[in-house]
Amino acid sequence: MGPDQIRFAADRMLGRLAKLLRLLGYDTLYSPNTTTAQLEQIARGGERVVLTRGAIEKRFPQVAVFRVDSEYALCNAMIERVDKAAIQGAVAPKVFRIYEEFFRCSGCGHIYWRGSHVERIVRNLETLLDGGDTGRS
């Protein structure tokens, strides 16, 4: 299942994640003004996976929603594509050799690339969408 098949809706606490998912090519609905009731309606429609950091049991008691843990939060700034030459020396030599496309956070300067972690993220999301763990405890 690829970016053209998985669609997300992120709650107002996950704007940074929404940007990252968009960067990875995923159709991700996000607005800081979206209410819990609107997200629940989206989830009940079954067309999008709802992502939240909130208490799932309280906010979405009857709907399968994926909870995102806060320790994976990213800087709240735009991530921009950068020329490979501009990041030489900022990443490990092996990473520089293997990958051609790089991105940099305009806020903190962190460098990103589509490494093997992206494949793991996609596999985890596919498991979730195929009926795996929804993050509920």
Task: Delimit the domains of the chain by residue range.
Answer: 1-73, 75-117
Strand partners of residue 27: 7
Share of the chain above pLDDT 90, in %: 15
- At 67 the pLDDT is 58
Domain 1-73: which CATH number of 1.10.30, 3.40.50, 1.10.3470, 3.30.70: 3.40.50
Instruction: Report the relative pairing of strands 49-52 and 27-30 from DSSP bridges.
Output: unpaired
Most confidently modeled range among 22-36, 49-63, 79-93, 109-123: 79-93
Q: Give the mean model confidence (pLDDT) for residues 114-137.
A: 65
- Give the start-end residues of each E strand in the chain: 7-10, 27-30, 49-52, 66-67, 79-82, 102-105, 111-112
Q: What is the pLDDT of residue 129?
A: 62
Please state, in angstroms and rounded to a whole number, the distance separating the CA atoms of residues 2 and 7. 10
Which residues fall within 8 angstroms of residue 89, CB to CB, at 6 or more apart? none
- Mean pLDDT, rounded, of the chain: 75
Whole-structure pTM over 0.75, yes or no? no
- Quick one: tokens of 35? 């209410």
